[in-house]
Amino acid sequence: MQELQKVCGYVAIIGRPNVGKSTLMNQLLKRKMTITSKRPQTTRHSITCILTDEQQALQMVLVDTPGINFNTQHHVMKWMHQQAVSALKHLDLRVWIIEAGHWEEHDQIICEMLVPLAEKTIVIINKIDKVKDKLKILEHMQTLSDMGFRKIIPLSATKEQNFSVLFKMAREVLPISDYYYPIEQQATCTKEFMAAEVVREKLMRYLGQEIPYECTVMIDNFEIDPSNSLHKIQATIYAGNDRHKKVIVGTEGQQLKAIGQAARLTLEGMFKQKVFLKLWVKVKDSWAAHKEAITQFGLEE
Ligand code: GDP
Ligand code: MG
């Protein structure tokens, strides 16, 4: 069998609330795939997950595009739109999720945003299990196809498993490229992983590139209170040396406090729950810390 050439690129999952983005992501994550804790160097987006399908020789680096999956209650301002559209333009692929037989104003807004980028946008019509009249789905597919969208995939995130179709179609759109992230590190996209990534992202934002690069963030404890869903997270930032530790903590702990607050707010947005986040800073031999992180996230082969 001839070996497939590798394809790889940055991908955004887009869709109004309740179309099934999380469900689809969770299903995708059940497949064998890869995620790494490496930092994104070439994109201004933050990475949420890395999906690698070795059969398809494909790697999708999923990124978060703030301002796209906005809340319906909030008024969408023009500048925000423009910001969002320009952020989307630089991606290799967009996967837009809509709901079969259910179209809202919010879908229309996203649709208009994506039409100029339709050639590199795949549309997923989700929840087809809920629609009795399948002809309606076909009609909708035709309309979207006439608008220029590259591929339209009807599926059911809860009932069907044919996600390989998405990978197959993504192959045609993504550029031929080596993987951006190594595949020998495997893990699932857990909340713990996401929490560590967010803390790391804030370290970058507050401290620039150099110091955070040598840091390891470890989640010591992650508990969800069954009574009120409060997410209680305790994490340690392992600094490369004493000087780094001092910078991270800041005068009277101000820097660490700011980093913690920013991380908490981002995590509350991601988890849609209240978050309690406690951060510590310790100095550690960086190799040992790296090794621990690898074990913690199940990144070992
Ligand atoms: P998100 O807001 O886009 O992340 O949407 P969620 O993934 O939270 O899904 C919203 C609701 O739609 C949940 O109740 C899901 O169980 C349901 N849902 C998602 N995918 C499907 C599907 O394929 N079929 C059906 N019937 N329900 C689905
Ligand atoms: Mg969701």
Q: For 283, phi and psi rounded to 5 degrees?
A: -100, 135
Model confidence over 221-270: pLDDT tens digits? 888 888 888 999 999 998 888 999 999 999 999 999 999 999 999 999 88
Provide the pLDDT for residue 201.
82
**Residue bearing tokens 């995708």:** 28
Spatial distance between the Cα atoms of 230 and 271, rounded to a whole number of angstroms? 10
Q: Over 90: is that where the pLDDT of 173 sits?
A: yes
Q: Over 70: is that where the pLDDT of 79 sits?
A: no
Q: Over 70: is that where the pLDDT of 154 sits?
A: yes
**What residue's CA is closest to ligand 1, atom 11?**
18
CA distances from 116 to 74, 133, 272 (A): 24, 30, 31
127 lines ligand 1 (CB under 6 A): yes
Q: For 33, phi and psi rounded to 5 degrees?
A: -155, 180
Give the distance (Å) from ligand 2 centre to CA of residue 127: 15
Provide the pLDDT for residue 73.
42
Spatial distance between the Cα atoms of 150 and 174, rounded to a whole number of angstroms? 12
Report which listed range, 26-40, 209-223, 286-300, is most confident. 209-223
158 lines ligand 1 (CB under 6 A): yes
Q: Over 60: is that where the pLDDT of 71 sits?
A: no
Residue whose CB lies within 8 A of the most ligand 1 atoms, among 18, 68, 104, for a mutation test: 18
Q: How much is the mean pLDDT over the chain?
A: 79
**CB-CB neighbours of 285 under 10 Å:** 11
Task: Considering only residues 69 and 138, tell me which one the structure prediction assigns the higher pLDDT.
Answer: 138
Instruction: Say which range, 48-52, 138-142, 175-179, has the weakest mean pLDDT.
Output: 48-52
Task: Considering only residues 265 and 24, tell me which one the structure prediction assigns the higher pLDDT.
Answer: 265
Q: Quick one: average pLDDT of 52-65? A: 80
Q: Over 50: is that where the pLDDT of 75 sits?
A: no
Q: Over 80: is that where the pLDDT of 81 sits?
A: no
Provide the pLDDT for residue 38.
40
Provide the pLDDT for residue 84.
65
**What residue's CA is closest to ligand 1, atom 22?**
127
Provide the pLDDT for residue 212.
72
Give the distance (Å) from ligand 1 centre to CA of residue 99: 9
Provide the pLDDT for residue 72.
39
Give the distance (Å) from ligand 2 centre to CA of residue 17: 7
Give the distance (Å) from ligand 2 centre to CA of residue 205: 25
Model confidence over 271-299: pLDDT tens digits? 888 999 999 999 876 555 455 554 444 43
Task: Considering only residues 115 and 34, tell me which one the structure prediction assigns the higher pLDDT.
Answer: 115
